[in-house]
Amino acid sequence: MKKRGEIMQAEVLAILRRRGTPMSAYEVLGQLRDSHPQLAPPTIYRALAALTERGGVHRLESLNAFIACKSDSHKDASILSICDDCGEVEEFVSPDLLKALSSIAGQSGFAPTRHVIEVHGQCASCGSAQDQA
Amino acid sequence: MKKRGEIMQAEVLAILRRRGTPMSAYEVLGQLRDSHPQLAPPTIYRALAALTERGGVHRLESLNAFIACKSDSHKDASILSICDDCGEVEEFVSPDLLKALSSIAGQSGFAPTRHVIEVHGQCASCGSAQDQA
DNA sequence: CACGGGCTTGATATAACATAACAAACACAC
DNA sequence: GTGTGTTTGTTATGTTATATCAAGCCCGTG
């Protein structure tokens, strides 16, 4: 019974990609209920967990939401900038910063396994829009 | 009616400090119900929000939990290392890293207002404990 | 092929986290 | 002391997430 799960993941990913901005698990669920009226939360959460692990989806810890990974093919921890006005998210990768971070946390013998780096603020377009207001 | 709120905040902070490791809002609520049986969630969340803003408490976004700020007196964003085994949290401050981070996110005109930096892993004592296992 | 163990998925239920919205109390100006 | 704005308390509900068990599939064995 492997296929079903993979189909699920593909559908979830498609929905997230279509949206482009962060979606909660329940928003995804809502969309999917159009085609699969029976769907329950654990199914979605399992699909999202698998996708997150695979690197196809980012979980935004500070929003409890998910977003399709755009510049896919980096399974390293990303730096995510989140516009609090429009919801737009950008991904950045910086091995240097990650290294610096690991070394700071490692000062006392801590062994990092997962980095959460999220920056909230205002994206370029929302910032300039506000200037006029 | 200002005092009541401040007392609340002090009690919440005391509970968090006593514990030392992360607590969910509802754990705090449970503790407080010993002395204030009537207490409802919004009261706790308000106290936690005020404390977080003041810098007395950190919110751990990736755990939906809170912890008393130990090295208090830095209201800058902290780097938090979280041991997934024992729950121990350490705080670090690194203006350089913050600057680097802002500059990365700022590449496309993004204006950061709030940084979330959390590193999961294993603390020194849990790491060495595991070595023996 | 049947049947049985181990694993994946699905469904039900409920737990955990958080806030909206309104009511009551206070505090300060007049 | 009465009105107005603000803080706090309470009720209710909304949102996010997972435990648990049931059902289905895969595949190796007899």
Cβ-proximal residues to B30 (8 Å cutoff; 6+ apart), any chain? none
Give the pLDDT band (50/70/90) at residue B54. Answer: confident
* Cross-chain Cβ contact A105/B121 below 8 Å: yes
B8-12, B29-33, B76-80: least confidently modelled range: B76-80
Q: Is the pLDDT of residue B72 over 70?
A: no
CATH code of domain A3-68? 1.10.10.10
pLDDT of residue B93: 92
Taking residues B70-74, report their average pLDDT: 71
Interface check for B11 against chain A (CB to CB < 8 A): the answer is no
CB contacts, 8 Å: B131 with chain A:
none
Cβ of A104 within 8 Å of Cβ of B62? The answer is: no
Give how far Cα A29 sits from Cα of A13, A48, A123, B48, Å.
12, 11, 28, 31
Of all residues in chain B, the percent with pLDDT exceeding 70 is 89
The mean pLDDT of B43-59, rounded to a whole number, is 93
- Among A80, A51, A85, CA closest to A68: A51
| Nearest-by-Cβ selection for A113 from B64, B102, B120 | B120
pLDDT of residue B1: 43
Check if A53 contacts B (Cβ < 8 Å). no
Q: Domain spanning B79-132: which CATH class is it, in words?
A: alpha beta
Residue A20 is which amino acid? G
The one-letter code for the residue type at A19 is R
pLDDT at B129: 67
User: What are the residue ranges spanned by the domains of chain B?
Assistant: 2-68, 79-132
B128 CB-near residues (< 8 Å, 6+ apart): none
pLDDT in tens, B114-129: 999 999 999 999 887 6
For β-strands B79-83 and A79-83, DSSP reports them as unpaired
- Residue B62 sits at the chain A interface (C-beta within 8 Å): yes
pLDDT of residue A36: 87
As a whole number of angstroms, the distance between CA B58 and CA B51 comes to: 8
- For B108, the closest of A61, A114, A124 (CB atoms) is A124
| Nucleotides in chain C near protein beta carbons (<7 Å) | 7-14, 16-21, 24-27
Check if the beta carbon of residue A86 is closer than 8 Å to that of residue A123: yes
pLDDT tens-digit profile, chain A (133 residues): 445 667 889 999 999 999 999 999 999 999 998 888 888 999 999 999 999 988 889 999 999 999 998 876 666 788 999 999 999 999 999 999 999 999 999 999 999 999 999 999 999 999 876 655 5
Q: Would A3-68 and A79-132 be classified into the same CATH topology?
A: no
Angle, helix B41-54 to helix B2-19, in steps of 10 degrees: 80
Encoding tokens for residue B116?
């979330």
Any atom of strand D under 7 A from CB of B54?
Answer: no
Residue-level pLDDT at A128? 75
* CATH class given for the domain over B2-68: mainly alpha
Contacts of A116 in chain B (CB under 8 A): 61-62, 116-120
Q: Does B127 touch chain A (CB under 8 A)?
A: yes
- The residue among A118, A103, A58, A87 whose CA lies nearest residue B77 is A118
- Rounded to the nearest integer, the mean pLDDT of chain B is 89
Dihedral pair phi/psi, residue B14, rounded to 5°? -60, -45
Contacts of A98 in chain B (CB under 8 A): none
Do the chains contact at A119 and B116, CB–CB below 8 Å?
yes
CB atoms within 10 A of CB B106: 15
Beta bridge partners of B90: B81
pLDDT for A4: 65
Taking an 8 Å cut-off on Cβ atoms, the answer to whether A124 and B104 are in contact is no
Residue B63: name the closest of B80, B47, B39, B41 by CA: B80
The pLDDT score that the predictor gives to residue A7 is 82
Determine the pLDDT at residue B131: 56
Q: What is the pLDDT of residue A132?
A: 55
% of chain B surpassing 90 pLDDT: 71
